[in-house]
Amino acid sequence: MRILGINALFHDPAAALVIDGRTVAAAEEERFSRRKHGKRPLPFSAWELPEQAARWCLDHAGIRPGDLDLVGYSFDPALARPAEQLGLDDPWDHVRLTYAREAPNFLAEALPGLDPAKVRFVPHHVAHAASAAFAADGDSDPSSVLVLDGRGEATSHLAARRVGPRLEQLAAQELPHSMGLVYEELTQHLGFLRSSDEYKVMAMASYGSPTSVAELRRHVYSTGDGGFHAAGVPWAGFAPALRPGQEWTPAHADLACSAQRVLEEVLLDLARWLHGRTHDRLLALAGGVALNCVANSRIAAEGPFERVWVQPAAGDAGTALGAALHLAASAGEQPEPMPGADLGRGWSDQELEAWLRGAAVPYQRSEDVAAEVARELAADGIVAWFQGRSEFGPRALGHRSLLAHPGRAANLERLNDVKGREQFRPVAPMVLADRAPKIFNGRHPSPYMLFVHEVAPAWRDRIPAVVHVDGTARIQSVDPVDDPLTARMLERFELLTGLPVVVNTSLNTAGRPMVDDVRDALECFGSAPIDLLALGPFVVRRGALFTGPDRSEARA
Ligand SMILES: [Fe+2]
């Protein structure tokens, strides 16, 4: 069956295509529209659909809207209740629900030829759960699955068990209690953009002490029945609210640290409760809260499950994939684990070269792009690494990455300057998978950057750019089988420097979505002090850019 999944209602609109149980394509609308998170999560924008992402998914597979067997929409308005009944202060929520009910017609409008009767509403947290339990690699049947986010129809959480094609629901926490909404409130209280900048709170937490844990536990705690209490936190009593851009103080870092600690405690309790019911070996995680890699690491290290797998697109974008996988499983198909996070757009070498010629920039076809990039990094250059298909989810994983030498402490500040972002934000290492365990203590492998690791003391001075203030790093382990080109670049860099690690951050500048297509890459390269752009096998050097194209193949 050909099944399109759609996430649209709140934020991170995305589309995914599953054919005969196999994930063929998945992409977020922001990568096409160049608007971060696709839209603000307001009721008034709830009708907007991931039109470009959906059309691209179909084009990629060479099918038309009329060829689709089903479309899964990751919200079921029949399960929703009026916001005031849910205890939410959201006076326009009824607008959102009206748009949700009309989604089949909006979809038929956006994708001419689609029969609106083929659209199915998939409960929001079922879609999240399916994106983890059906997409996880290895032995995932049966498995336990835990979903936590801001909100779905009337709940903010789901504890479930995957048995074959079915998801058995074991517990669900009703709104207004929501770990995601509490974290969003704190994000806003600290002067950041809610529903967007939550990861900055996690980074800030490393600078503080857990001074308010006992007091916060009065408002945020697990209830022993698989659910939790999380609402009504009087944030201003802990530290005054910050305006956007206002300097934060140690009291704010302490509050971030305390809230992070309490979140971790509740998640650990929920994982233990779930394991007590299922005794499964695998826990699969999804929902925006599962992007909290510090909490994930505690669940992996201290929780009862043998293995923890996190959907790399754990936020709402992933529900597009989950909705499609759920419909496939419900229709009797065998969903296959996702093949990797590189499910987005890619270009052939010929297409890349045509773009370079069109832009009239001097470029060369490298004999060995991995080795050339390794040399540039060893010489302390900054490299934009554009290879293969783009990533689904918020992390750059060696397809649309900005790379640098990890041995120069100054490179953290340098990269944050290139990207125009706050200096307290860490950058992360990518590391050869077989070298990772001796340098980073924690869960291995970690291909999707969803766990934090403690950097071995002997290595902290060798790779200072990627060691966060608390001695940790959020690693991506690179396996030569999964990504031979990036692994080869790391091997060459190790030969030159003795370090099997490079700095990896997403290829974008502040406030913009990750680079996706070739034009984005050229624009980003042109506007930021990046020394080398590796576009497939082609390299563009900053120096050559300003000496004209005569020495290049552009005029060949
Ligand atoms: Fe969600």
pLDDT in tens, 401-446: 999 999 999 999 899 888 887 777 788 999 999 999 999 999 899 9
User: What is the pLDDT confidence band of residue 547, given thresholds at 50, 70 and 90?
Assistant: low
Ligand 1 centroid to Cα of residue 522, in Å, is 33
Give the HSE-up count for residue 314: Cα atoms under 13 Å, Cβ half-sphere: 28
| Cα gap 419→331, rounded to integer Å | 45
When computed from its CA atoms, the radius of gyration of the chain, rounded to whole angstroms, is 23
Q: What is the mean pLDDT of residues 294-314?
A: 97
Q: Do residues 200 and 249 touch, judged by C-beta distance below 8 A?
A: no
Ligand 1 centroid to Cα of residue 289, in Å, is 9
Poorest-confidence range of 220-229, 416-425, 542-551?
Answer: 542-551
| Residue 286, pLDDT above cutoff 80 | yes
Ligand 1 centroid to Cα of residue 151, in Å, is 6
Ligand 1 centroid to Cα of residue 213, in Å, is 26
- In the structure, ligand 1 is a single-atom ion and the residues with CB under 5 Å from it are 149, 316
Ligand 1 centroid to Cα of residue 287, in Å, is 5
| DSSP code string of 18-80 | EETTEEEEEEETHHHH--TTSS---GGGTT---HHHHHHHHHHHT--GGG-SEEEES--GGG-
Q: What per-residue confidence (pLDDT) applies to 139?
A: 87
Interior/surface letters 16-42, b for 16+ CB within 10 angstroms, e for the rest:
bbbbebbbbbbbbbbbbbbebbbbebe
| Cα gap 220→178, rounded to integer Å | 9
Ligand 1 centroid to Cα of residue 124, in Å, is 6
Tokens (6 digits) for 146: 């835990």
Residue 78 Cα to chain centre, angstroms: 29
| Cα gap 45→314, rounded to integer Å | 22
Q: What per-residue confidence (pLDDT) applies to 551?
A: 46
- What phi, psi does 243 have (nearest 5°)? -80, 160
Ligand 1 centroid to Cα of residue 427, in Å, is 26
Q: Sign of the CA dihedral 322, 343, 339, 298?
A: negative
Ligand 1 centroid to Cα of residue 30, in Å, is 17
| Cα gap 112→324, rounded to integer Å | 20
Q: Measure CA of the first residue to CA of the last residue in the chain; give whole Å.
A: 47
Q: Where does 223-342 show beta strands of DSSP type E?
A: 228-230, 282-286, 307-310
| Cα gap 234→229, rounded to integer Å | 14
Ligand 1 centroid to Cα of residue 180, in Å, is 9
Please state the length of the chain. 556
What's the Cα-to-Cα distance from 195 to each of 36, 88, 188, 233, 288, rounded to whole Å? 11, 16, 9, 17, 9
| Cα gap 210→218, rounded to integer Å | 15
- 227-273 residue pLDDT tens: 999 999 999 999 999 999 899 999 999 999 999 999 999 999 999 99
